[in-house]
Each structure stands twice: as structure tokens, then as C-alpha cells.
Amino acid sequence: MSNDLHLGLEGIAVAETRLSHIDGETGTLLIGGYPVEELANEATYEESVYLLLHGHAPTASELEDFRETLATHRELTDEVHALLRAAAAADLPAMDALRMGVAAANLGVDLDGPHAEACRVIACFPTIVAAYWRYRQGEDPVAPRGDLRHAANYLYMLTGEKPTDAAVRGLETYLNTVVDHGLNASTFSARVVVSTESDLVSAATAAVGTLKGPLHGGAPGPVLEMLREVHASGDPEQYVREALDAGERLMGFGHRVYRVRDPRAAVLETAAERFFEAGGDAAFFETARRFEDVATELLAEDKPDRRLETNVEFYTAMLLDGVGVPKELFTVTFAVSRVGGWLAHALEQRADNRLIRPISRYVGDERRLWPPLDER
Ligand code: COA
């Protein structure tokens, strides 16, 4: 057995998957075999998730059935509502509320097998987030509407108003873009949980906990604050120079796998541009673009050996803000999408399982003698 150390498991393949493929050198992302650019703009979220769960794009009748299944699983039980009310009253962050809501999501719900369990969990993510947010605002939750698509219903439950087509399309493009992304940290967590023959709710709960950390899913909120500050000052160069001189990292830049611009940044930039040109704050969008140019140039000067370009989080901030998702919900909205990928990976792991159990290299003391209490 090799005792080579692979901190962070960087570059180590530990699973085979048909779900998504990343080429970090060329900046290519395939989801279910389709280029992200195509899936993001052509599919609905339900189609993307169906593709991941079943391996093919749904026919019209398969899609109809799948939509109906998701729509019937949207409602939360009273117990989950009570948890979310308590989480909001205690001022817990949205990711904590989501973790609590997911963990209890199937309590008292009859489900026939892992596939039904996956549909239930995917369907109720937006309801958990929206209910928590409404409680947080001191308002009653808005009941889900079965006639609205997944993305439209999410926006509707947040505000109580039917969203515009442009907002739905913007959000749907985002949800499709981030639905799966190789063996990222939260997806890995989900696969580890299922590899012990544990259940899908446990896998989704662990994945939410993993996504919560700022190195994974927490960057778009800070990106928005940064862009607002730069928009107010009008001087991106000064902002970047000061941040780099202070040894800070620029949020929305850099990636563990991509050595070029993250292809999802391009998809979301186009979606944000489309959205803002149709009636949003176009000047703010231009600030983001100018910031990207300036920051990319200065990062290249600062770190000539490491290409640092925009990652998915940069234009996520612009797009989600534009379509009306509050900044506090950016990371949970990422989860609303990624849960489709997590559970598809969990089912894939389950279908051809091997317990994930790496080893560690011991660097502690050799054979110490246990000291009596009065000698310590
Ligand atoms: N701004 C400035 N410098 C950055 C940077 C950023 N966003 N990202 C990486 N670097 C620098 C590091 O400081 C390091 O410099 P050093 O070698 O002089 O110490 C070098 O680039 C390599 O960084 P490393 O920590 O090895 O990269 P990683 O692969 O572990 O990190 C991220 C990947 C995403 C965690 C990292 O780029 C980051 O923190 N980005 C900002 C947060 C973010 O946008 N997260 C969302 C990810 S989708």
C-alpha cells in the first residue's frame, strides 16, 4: 500500500462518473455529455436533473411526469416549518437552516425507494430556503405552486409574486450551469456518505455542510459587496491593488482545477448581460466587466506563475442579484441547484459501490507510556 501523501486529494481520481467532465486546461465542462453552454441556455432545470438522474434528455411525456413528481413533493411538513421558524428567530445563516430542514425533510413522508427519496429532496430544497427567508422577514411562507416550473416557483415562493420570464430564464440558466461539477468537495462528501450504504438524506445533509465553507460555495456574497464598493468608488484598479498589497484574495477569481477562465463564468456573463440589457442596472454590469479586466491583468502581474481568472462565483453574484435573489441566499441557491448533482452522484455511487476509505500517514509520537494523573 503506497504511503504517498495527497493533501487535498489534488489530482487523484477516486470515482468513475458519467455525470460531468471538467478539462481544466482548455476550460471545458460537459454535463451529462452536453457542453455547459448548450445545457445552460437550452434546458429547463427539470430537464438537467432528469438528464443526470437517468442519463438521457427526457422525452415530452417523461418530462411531464418528472415535473409532476417534483411538484407533488414540494410541500414541507409542520415539523420542518417549526425548525425553520426557530432557525430564522435565532438569526441562523441560511445554510444552517437548509441543513436542518434537509435533515428532517423526509420525516413522516412515505417514499418508495432511493429514486423517490432523491426526487423528494430535490423538490423541497427551494421550499425550505424560501420558507426560512419569509420567516426571517417576519412574513408567512408562500405555499408552492404546482403549475410553476422549479425555478419560477422558487422565485415565487421568495416574493409571493409571479416572476418575469426574464428573471425565470436568468435563474434557470444559473441552476443549469452549476448543477454538477465533477468531484468537488460537497459532491465528494455525498459519495463518501453513500459509500457506507447510508441514505440519500444523510448524503444531502453532509453535502450542504460541506458547501457552507467560504472556499467552496461562499464567494458570491462577498463578490457582490466588492463590486458595489467598486461601483461607488469608480476605481477598480485602486481596489485590486490595495487588496493584493494587503495579501487578500480576490473573491470570484482562481480555481483548483481551471487554469483558464472558468467556462461557467462565460455562460453566466452572457446570461447577466442579457438580463441587464433587458432592463436591469446596465451601468453596474459594466463595472463588473471593467473590474474583471483590471483584476485579471493585475493578478497576472502579481502571480505570474499561476493563472488566476474569474470563476463561476463572479457573474453568479451579478445574475442572482439581478433576478432578485437576496445576497444572504446566494450559497443556498447554489445548493438548490447542486442538490441535483449530489443525488445523481449518490445514486451512481450506490449502483457500483466501494466503501471510500483512504488512509492517513501517522506523524505522532511512537509508543508513549500512559502517565499517572499526579505526574502530568
Ligand atoms: N486572489 C489572489 N490570489 C489568489 C487567489 C485569488 N482569488 N486565488 C489564489 N491565489 C494565489 C494564492 O494566494 C497562492 O499564492 P502564493 O503561491 O503566492 O501563496 C496561489 O494563488 C495559489 O493558490 P492556492 O491556494 O494553491 O489555490 P487553490 O487551488 O488552493 O485555491 C481557490 C482555489 C478557489 C480556493 C482560490 O483561488 C480562492 O481562494 N479564490 C477566492 C475564493 C473564491 O472565489 N472561491 C470560489 C471558488 S469557485
**pLDDT tens sequence for the chain (376 residues):** 667 899 999 889 999 999 999 999 999 999 999 999 999 999 999 999 999 999 999 999 999 999 999 999 999 999 999 999 999 999 999 999 999 999 999 988 888 899 999 999 999 999 999 999 999 999 999 999 999 999 999 999 999 999 999 999 999 999 999 999 999 999 999 999 999 999 999 999 999 999 998 888 777 788 999 999 999 999 999 999 999 999 999 999 999 889 999 999 999 999 999 998 888 788 999 999 999 999 999 999 999 999 999 999 999 999 999 999 999 999 999 999 999 999 999 999 999 999 999 999 999 999 999 999 999 9
**Residue spans in the chain of domains classed CATH 1.10.230.10:** 220-323
**Does the CB atom of residue 184 touch ligand 1 within 6 A?**
no
Domain boundaries 220-323, corresponding CATH code: 1.10.230.10
**Whole-number pLDDT of residue 1:** 60
Nearest CA to ligand 1 atom 6: 249
Ligand 1 proximity of 250 Cβ (cutoff 6 Å): yes
CA 196 from centre of chain: 24
* Residue of 248, 308, 331 to test ligand 1 pocket, by largest number of atoms within 8 Å of CB: 308
Question: What H or E segment, with its residue span, contains residue 321?
Answer: helix 312-323
| H/E segment holding residue 20 | strand 20-23
Q: Give the DSSP per-residue string, 13-49.
A: -----SSEEEETTTTEEEETTEEHHHHHHH--HHHHH
Quote the Cα angle for 252-258-263, to 5°.
70
**Set of cell numbers at residue 273:** 448581460
Residue type present at position 52:
L
pLDDT in the model for residue 220: 75
- CA–chain centroid gap for 211, Å, is 7
Q: Is 295 in the pocket of ligand 1 (CB under 6 A)?
A: no
Among 9, 227, 255, which residue has the most ligand 1 atoms within 8 Å of its CB, making it the best to mutate?
255
**Location of each CATH 1.10.580.10 domain in the chain:** 20-204+340-351
Of all protein residues, whose CA lies closest to atom 9 belonging to ligand 1? 254
Cα 224 off chain centre by: 16
Residue among 249, 299, 307, 331 to mutate when testing ligand 1 (max atoms within 8 A of CB): 249
Q: How far apart are CA 3 and CA 141, in angstroms?
A: 53
Q: Residue 272: its pLDDT value, please? A: 94
Assess contact for 333 and 316: CB atoms under 8 A. Answer: no
Residues designated catalytic:
255, 313
| Cβ partners under 8 Å of residue 329, min gap 6 | 94, 129, 133, 158, 320
Check pocket membership of 303 for ligand 1, CB cut-off 6 A.
Answer: yes
The residue whose C-alpha atom lies closest to atom 26 belonging to ligand 1 is: 256
The ligand 1 atom at the shortest distance from the C-alpha of residue 10 is 29
- What's the pTM value of the predicted model, to 2 decimals? 0.94
pLDDT value for 215: 81
CATH of domain 20-204+340-351: 1.10.580.10
Nearest to 319 by CA among 366, 255, 363, 268: 268
Question: What pLDDT, on a 0 to 100 scale, did the predictor assign at position 263?
Answer: 97
